[in-house]
A and B are shown apart, each in its own frame.
Chain A
Amino acid sequence: MSKKNLSLSTQQKVRKSLSSRYKKETLFQYFGLSSLSVGIIFLVIFFYSVLSQGFSAFTQTYISLKVDFSDNLVVKNNKIDSIDSNFDAIIRSALRERFPEVNNRRDRRELYKLISIGAVYQLIDHLDMSPGDVGSREILSFPTSSDVDMYVKGNIDRKLDESKRTISNNQMMWIDELVEKGEIKMKFNSALFSNGDSREPELAGIYSALKGSFLMLFITLIVSFPVGIAAAIYLEEFAPKNKISDLIEVNINNLAAVPSIVFGLLGLAVFINWFGIPRSSPLVGGLVLSLLTLPVIIISSRAAITAIPPSIKEAALGVGASHMQVVAHHILPLAFPGMLTGAIIGMSRALGESAPLLMIGMVAFIVDIPSVITDPSSALPVQIYLWADSPERAFAERTSAAIIILLGFLLTMNLLAIYLRKKFERKW
């Protein structure tokens, strides 16, 4: 220590170090602020790219055509015979009528490709609903094929050489004419919400995946919530504090950090190979996901129980309540909001999981909507993965749309968790 330093009073010392201490504080603030802004920038980029790409998937181009129900239909016993009736021909003749100048075979084939193959199924449904239309002429609107959809949405560059486009010059001319006359219109893409998966982008929907996810979360909730709460209460209130309970605690914390694919392998070995639960069913998916959420629920439930002031428990014991009564009448009701929040956060994690589902066969092409928990089904994140991997261009925007929907559900669940916490939170 130099003499000079010794001669300084405490006040002087403080004053001298003041500026450097302030500097450190501002530096730290800037550091924090810049990390926050990096996070925000990434979030904005992510949202921008998903929203800008996915937004157009909520609309779909439809083409209006005058179809003639007087020809090509075979009616037997007052019912339309779907095997002998030629629905394809009805749509084709409607297109030919709209463009009578197209008469060579090759051009006609191109013309037919304007319309989605789903038009036929729509026609069948329409006739099922209103069989009185047989013999008349109706103007119906059909989804266009995904290439037309992409073209109308401006995702195909018309200046490119014809061989490099999925739309030919002729098709471009027809589409331009139809758009000009208002016969091709954009409508809300209801197929996206009501259909199962499909390899035709214009028919593909997330309904089967969504329903699969809900069935799975239902199983996860009824399995992991009661088990998780019971385990937490036992560990907090009844279990003797010894080496074994310490070991269990360490293991539970450890399980919460295990990569989710491991649970998938476990599910494959135990639930499918040993118990014989059908592959790809929401039942096995829900059981695997409940293994995944169980540690989260146990940990958050224990935290909720420990947050209750011991005085409440002691008072109850003091007036003669049994241990069981203390738990049922005081601990459980007071800790329940916290447990619920933990469960919802665990559920939202389960909703976004796809890795464990890979092992149990839920990464699959499922068209039919699952109705019971043993039907094959996929899940929302799986659907995103499958669409992202499809070669057809129109799936790119549908992938983003599915991400938007998944984000919407996650946001809703997390908001619900916050709302419940705020509403039922008690301060002591």
Chain B
Amino acid sequence: MLRKSLLYMSLFLYCLFYGGFANSQASRDYISIVGSSTVYPFTTVAAERYGRSTNFKTPKVESTGSGGGLKLFCGGIGAQHPDITNSSRAIKDSEIRLCAENGISEIIEVKIGYDGIVLSNSLEAKSFNLTLKEIFLALAKNIPDASGKIISNPYQKWNEINPKLPDQAIEIMGPPPTSGTRDAFVELAMEGGCKAFSSIRDLKNSNGDRYKSICHGIREDGAFIEAGENDNLIIQKLETNPNALGIFGYSFLDQNNDKVKGTLVDSVEPTFENIAEGSYPISRPLYFYVKKAHVGVIPGLKEFLREFTSERAWGEDGYLSDRGLIPMPDEERFMVGEAVNSLTAM
């Protein structure tokens, strides 16, 4: 009896490990997408519409972060590797090299539109109007004093930075360092404000590391609060704490207009129009990358690209703009769309 059951057990395991998925791995009948959590809300909408309106299966979309996504993407060619990766930044040279080492020589870059990063506070609180320099002074770990010497950030209240700002403690909630939103915020807002100091600007050429550590260093004395990757949580906290500001993507402001409002940056309000025309300073392009070798192997990949680059998806009034994606100007959209649908690799 024992011998028989052992035999069955090993047979079962054999089927499980070889028969079962050796076949399923050789081919895949759905598209596998990984990557940025910022692009995730847009890709999933497009994936769902594509799945419902075609006979193909709905693509699987994982949210792994831009860096993690590119790492998986560059793992190799074959059904066990993802076909598309979302990214809230452009692919780096090192990542292109990694891809090439694993045999992925042709990558199609798809720029899908723009995303704004907003500083928001509760509707009940006073509106802020900050310059990038003030944002830097409020958030940086180390700042230059009047003589240009680097000191640790002494500001505890907004009116200490600029007497016109309200007399309240600096309290800003934002994403952790693993987040692409944080990366972009540091690069666009902090570094932008940092460069306003001529002494630091000079440092960029003479001592790049020092420049980066000053401009990218966020204070750790409690004025900046890491609130986790969950932006809904930040909005909930802003509602209960009118003194605090929160950092998140524009799509969350768009959905919660009745709870929070955007802070003006350099006197520009974070609205759809202002981000689209580029006058709002903290905005960045969003991308996804496609493995050309998988087109024609994984069913429906080409059709998915056509759906994503269709006017009803990423156009001015497309369903992606309903979700807070800021579309590219007509001309750019047309150019990117042409290149993508003719499968032009980078």
Chain A residues within CB distance 8 Å of chain B: 117, 121, 156-157, 160, 163-166, 196, 198-200, 272, 275-281, 283, 361, 363-368, 373-374, 376, 386, 388-393, 396
Q: Is the CB of B123 within 8 A of A367?
A: no
Closest to A283 in B: B21
> CB-defined interface of B302-346 with A at 8 Å, one 1/0 digit per residue?
000000000000000000000110000000000000000000000
The residue of chain A having its C-beta at the shortest distance from the C-beta of B259 within the complex is: A164
Q: List 13 A-B contacts (CB under 8 A).
A: A156-B258, A164-B123, A199-B41, A199-B48, A283-B20, A361-B62, A364-B61, A365-B62, A376-B32, A389-B37, A389-B231, A391-B252, A393-B255
Would you call A374 and B24 a contact (CB within 8 A)? yes
Q: Mark B152-172, 1 if CB is under 8 A from A, else 0.
A: 000000000000000000000
A367 touches B232 (CB 8 A): no
Interface centre among B20, B37, B49 (most CB of A within 10 A): B20
Report how many residues on chain B are interfacial, defined by Cβ distance under 8 Å: 42
**How far is A121 from B25 in the complex, measured between Cα atoms in Å?**
31
Query: Does chain A have a CB within 8 A of B127?
Result: no
> Which chain A residue lies CB-closest to B26?
A276
Q: Is B288 on the interface with A (CB-CB < 8 A)?
A: no
Report whether A376 and B48 are in contact in the complex, using a CB–CB cutoff of 8 Å: no
Complex: how many Å from CA A187 to CA B44? 27
Give the residues in chain B near A396, CB-CB below 8 Å: 232
Does B280 count as interface, using CB distance less than 8 angstroms?
no
A-facing residues in B197-243 (Cβ within 8 Å): 229-232
B24: chain A residues within 8 A (beta carbon): 278, 374
Closest partner residue, chain B, to A200 (CB atom): B48
B255–A391 touching, CB < 8 Å: yes
Given contacts A279-B80, A376-B30, A391-B232, contact A364 B60 (CB under 8 A): yes
Given A117-B49, A121-B52, A276-B25, 18 more A-B residue pairs with CB atoms under 8 Å apart are: A156-B258, A157-B258, A166-B257, A199-B44, A199-B323, A278-B24, A278-B80, A279-B80, A361-B62, A363-B62, A365-B40, A365-B60, A365-B62, A368-B30, A374-B21, A391-B251, A391-B254, A391-B255
* Contact A393 B256, CB 8 Å, known A275-B17, A279-B32, A368-B51: yes
- The answer to the question of B294 belonging to the interface, with a C-beta cut-off of 8 Å to chain A, is no
- Given the interface contacts A198-B48, A365-B60, A368-B51, does A276 sit within 8 Å of B80 by beta carbon? yes
List B contacts of A389 (CB < 8 A): 37, 229-232
Do the beta carbons of B41 and A390 come within 8 Å of each other?
yes
Complex Cα–Cα for A169 and B51 (A): 34
Given contacts A277-B21, A283-B20, A388-B230, contact A366 B60 (CB under 8 A): yes
B45 within 8 A of A: yes
Q: How far, in angstroms, from A413 to B24 measured CA to CA in the complex?
A: 33
The smallest C-beta distance from A268 to any residue of chain B, in angstroms, reads 11
B297 at interface, CB cutoff 8 A: no
Are A166 and B255 in touch, CB under 8 angstroms? yes
Interface set, chain B 41-59, CB cutoff 8 A to A: 41, 44-45, 47-49, 51-52, 57-58
A198 to B46, CA, bound (A): 11
**Interface SS of chain A: helix, strand, loop or mixed?**
loop
Q: Are A376 and B60 in touch, CB under 8 angstroms?
A: yes
Within 8 Å of chain A (Cβ to Cβ): is B63? yes
Cα-based distance from A200 to B51 in the complex (angstroms): 14
CB distance from B20 to the nearest CB of A (A): 6
The distance in angstroms between the C-alpha atoms of A310 and B13, with both chains bound, is 36
Q: Is residue B22 within 8 Å, beta carbon to beta carbon, of the partner chain?
A: yes
B202 to chain A, nearest CB (A): 42
| A391-B62 contact, Cβ under 8 Å, with A199-B44, A376-B30 | no
Residues of A contacting B255 in the complex (Cβ-Cβ under 8 angstroms):
166, 391-393
A373 to B12, CA, bound (A): 14
Q: Which residue of B lies closest to A374 (CB)?
A: B24
B305 to chain A, nearest CB (A): 18
Pick the most buried of B30, B51, B258: most chain A CB atoms within 10 A of its CB.
Answer: B258
Considering the chains assembled together, what is the distance between the CA atoms of A393 and B30 in angstroms? 30
In the complex, what's the smallest C-beta–C-beta distance from A198 to chain B, in angstroms?
6
Q: Hey, which chain B residues are within 8 Å of A393, CB to CB?
A: 255-256
* Minimum C-beta distance from B42 to chain A (A): 9
> Shortest distance in angstroms between A387's beta carbon and chain B's nearest beta carbon?
10
Q: Are B21 and A165 in contact (CB under 8 A)?
A: no
Contact A278 B62 (CB under 8 A): no
CB atoms of A199 and B232 under 8 A apart: no
Residue numbers in A under 8 Å from B251 (CB-CB): 391
> In the complex, A368→B254 CA distance in Å?
29
A367 with B41, Cβ < 8 A, contacts A164-B258, A165-B257, A279-B32 known: no
Specify which chain A residues have a CB less than 8 angstroms from the CB of B32 in the assembled complex.
279-280, 376
State A366–B62 Cα separation when bound (angstroms). Answer: 9
Of B21, B34, B45, B229, which is within 8 A of A278 by CB?
A: B21
Q: A365 contacts B61, CB within 8 Å?
A: yes
- CB–CB A388/B232 < 8 A: yes
Minimal Cβ-Cβ distance residue in B for A163:
B257
Instruction: Kindly list chain A residues whose C-beta atoms are within 8 Å of the C-beta of B45.
Output: 199
A368 to B56, CA, bound (A): 11
Residues from chain B with a CB closer than 8 A to the CB of A275 are 17
Q: With A and B bound together, what is the CA distance between A163 and B258 in angstroms?
A: 9
Residue in chain A with minimal CB distance to B253: A391
Residue pair B44, A365 in contact (C-beta under 8 Å): yes
Tell me the bound Cα distance from A283 to B52 in angstroms: 26
Decide if B231 touches A391 in the complex (CB within 8 Å). Answer: yes
A202 to B148, CA, bound (A): 56
Known: A389-B229, A390-B41. A278 touches B25 (CB 8 A): yes
Q: Which residue of B lies closest to A386 (CB)?
A: B63
The 3 nearest A-B residue pairs measured at CB: A367-B58, A365-B61, A364-B62
Chain B residue, CB-CB nearest to A113? B322
Known: A283-B21, A389-B231. A367 touches B47 (CB 8 A): yes
